[in-house]
Amino acid sequence: MERIGQKQVYDYLDSLNIKYEYYEHPEAPTIEIASQFYRGEGTTLCKNLFFRNHKGNRHYLVIMESTFAMDIHSVEKILHQGKLSFASPERMMRYLGVKPGSVSLFNLVNDINREVTLFVDSKLLTVEKVSFHPNDNRASLVISSEDMLKFIKNIGNNYEIMDLYE
């Protein structure tokens, strides 16, 4: 069942001919809760973190494999973007169009001015499939990692694929 906020994600994926699997589940606002509903058949569950820089004039979406635990100081060192903090709920709504607990790669369809810079862990390009919320944490979409890269290249945001951890 399609929920409000998801339509723009499906429309965008359809426009790129990206096939996806849809799974509805109870609300999953954290990666720990989402992992309870995770369908692991060759799919990598992704963690999505939304940061702002110290001045508050730059915003970053960082995506990685869900089981990797990374502290904010490690993110700062790896991204070379200065002091970072987690973005407020107001900033999430303004830049990604979602409330906390629904942050995902697919939120970039809401970033009309392409103000959010995306950082993707390179290991996500080596797996078969990846899973993200479709602007609503009561569902998950599974796409191929190849189609994830297609989405990233077409959405228009600045992005960097990098090794976030060894």
pTM listed for this prediction:
0.90
**Running DSSP on this structure, what letter comes out for residue 159?**
E
Length of the chain: 166
> What single letter denotes the amino acid at residue 150?
K
Per-residue model confidence as pLDDT tens digits over 67-116 = 877 777 888 888 888 899 999 999 999 999 999 989 999 999 999 999 99
**Cα(139)–Cα(16) distance, integer angstroms:** 21
Per-residue model confidence as pLDDT tens digits over 134-164 = 998 888 899 999 999 999 999 999 999 998 8
Residue 3: per-residue pLDDT: 43
Domains and CATH numbers, the chain: 7-162 (3.90.960.10)
**Cα(146)–Cα(58) distance, integer angstroms:** 28
